[in-house]
Amino acid sequence: MTHEYWKWPESSRVYEDAGWKAPGEATAGVDIGTTSAQAAVMLGGRLLGYSNVRVGADFRKSAKDALDLAMAGTGAAPADLAAIAVTGFAKNSVDFASKAIDEVQCHAKGARFMYGPDVRTLIDMGGQTVKAIRLFDWDRVRDFMIGDKCATGEGRRIEVLCDIMHVGITEIGPKSLEAEKDPEPVSTTCWAFGGTETLGLFGRPEFRSPKMSEAEIYASYLFSIAWRIIGVAGRLSPLDVGKIEIDGTLGLTGGLAKNPGITARIERELGVKAAVSEYDPMLAGAIGAALLAR
C-alpha cells in the first residue's frame, strides 16, 4: 500500500483555563474503538484535555497511548486521577481502568455535554457500528438501536475506499457536495456492494453508464451510506406510527460526523439541522465515560 489517502488527522489538546489543581479531582474516560481511540480528562464538569488517535494492532497499547497523550501537558499523571472509565469495542482489553461502561450510556452522556440538554436523538457513526439513541429529557436512555450486521464497518469502508479511489478522507465530503444534484445512491444493502459499484463508476466518461462527474460519484457513494445510517435511526421505536421522527435536537457523533458529505445528506433526508459543538464529534464516548467514571 503506497497511498495514505485514508489517514485522518490525529489530534490532542489541553484546556489550560480548566485549571488542574490537586490530585484526586479529575476523571478520565477512554473510548477504545475498532478504528480510533479517544481519551478525555474532565475536571469539575469541564474538559481539561483530550486526544484522538488511530488504533493499531494492540488495543491495550492504543488505549494507553490515547490516555497518555490526553494527559500530556495537563500537569497530571494517570495516578492522580480519581477514576478512569473505559468504553468502546475493545474495552475488555484495557486493564488500567477502574470501570468499564457500555458505549450507549457513554455516548448519551457525552452528547448531552457536547450538544446541550436539548439533544434527544443521537446518531453515533463510527468505524464499525452505527448507534441511534433516543434520550429522555433527563440523562437517561429511552431507546437505542445498533446497526444490523449489514450496516457494519461503514467508517472503515470509507477509509479503504478513499485509498482505492485516491481521494483524501477529509476531501471526499466537501467534493461530494459540489454535485449540483445528488444522483441515485449506489447499493444501499451492503457497504461492500456499494464500494464495488462505486469503483465501477470511474473510468473514461464516454464509457460510464450513467455518465457521472467525480463529484457525483462521491455523492452517490456517500448518499448510500447516509441512507443506511438513516435506516438505523428509523428503527428506533416510533413516537408516531410509520414516521421517522427526530425527537428534540439531533446530535451526530463519531468519525462520520466530521464528513459533511454524510451529515448534510442525513440532515436533508430527515429535514432537520444537527446541533453543532465546539468539540470534536469523535470525543462523545470518551467525555461520557469520564463523566460517568466516578
What three-state secondary structure class fits 91? helix
Interaction with another protein in 170-209: which residues (CB under 8 A)? 190-193, 195-196, 199-200, 202-204, 207
Interaction with another protein in 215-234: which residues (CB under 8 A)? 217
- Position 3 contacts another protein (CB under 8 A): yes
Q: What angle do CA 99, 37, 129 make, to 5 degrees?
A: 90
Residue whose cell numbers read 445528506: 265
Residue 137 vs residues 65, 109, 252: alpha-carbon distances, Å: 35, 12, 18
> Residues 83, 156, 234, 239: which binds another protein (CB under 8 A)?
156
The site that binds another protein (CB under 8 A) totals a number of residues, namely: 38
228 to 267: interface string for another protein, x by CB under 8 A: ----------------------------------------
Q: 207: Cβ–Cβ under 8 A, 6 or more apart, which residues? A: none
Q: Which one, 9 or 45, has the nearer CB to another protein?
A: 9
Q: What is the signed CA dihedral for 197, 203, 2, 63, rounded to 10 degrees?
A: -30
Q: Which one, 232 or 274, has the nearer CB to another protein?
A: 232
Give me 47's grid cell.
474538559
What three-state secondary structure class fits 55? coil
Q: Which one, 90 or 111, has the nearer CB to another protein?
A: 90
The least CB distance from residue 46 to another protein, in Å, is: 32
> Residues 166, 210, 240, 241: which binds another protein (CB under 8 A)?
166
In 204-270 the beta strands, taken as DSSP E runs, fall at 249-253
> Residues 11, 93, 98, 170: which binds another protein (CB under 8 A)?
93
Compute the distance between CA of residue 232 and CA of residue 81 in angstroms, rounded to an integer: 37
Interaction with another protein in 43-62: which residues (CB under 8 A)? 56-57, 59
> Residues 112, 120, 134, 157: which binds another protein (CB under 8 A)?
157
Contact 87/284 with Cβ under 8 angstroms? no
* Number of other CB atoms surrounding residue 56 within 10 Å: 10
Q: Which one, 100 or 141, has the nearer CB to another protein?
A: 100
In the chain the beta strands, taken as DSSP E runs, fall at 11-14, 27-32, 36-43, 46-54, 83-87, 99-100, 119-125, 130-135, 141-146, 249-253
Q: Which one, 27 or 188, has the nearer CB to another protein?
A: 188
The least CB distance from residue 189 to another protein, in Å, is: 10
> Residues 83, 146, 160, 177: which binds another protein (CB under 8 A)?
160
Q: Which one, 1 or 241, has the nearer CB to another protein?
A: 1
> Residues 114, 165, 230, 289: which binds another protein (CB under 8 A)?
165
Q: 4: Cβ–Cβ under 8 A, 6 or more apart, which residues? A: 163
Per CB under 8 A, residues contacting another protein are 1-3, 34, 56-57, 59, 89-90, 92-93, 128, 149-150, 152-153, 156-157, 160, 163-167, 190-193, 195-196, 199-200, 202-204, 207, 214, 217
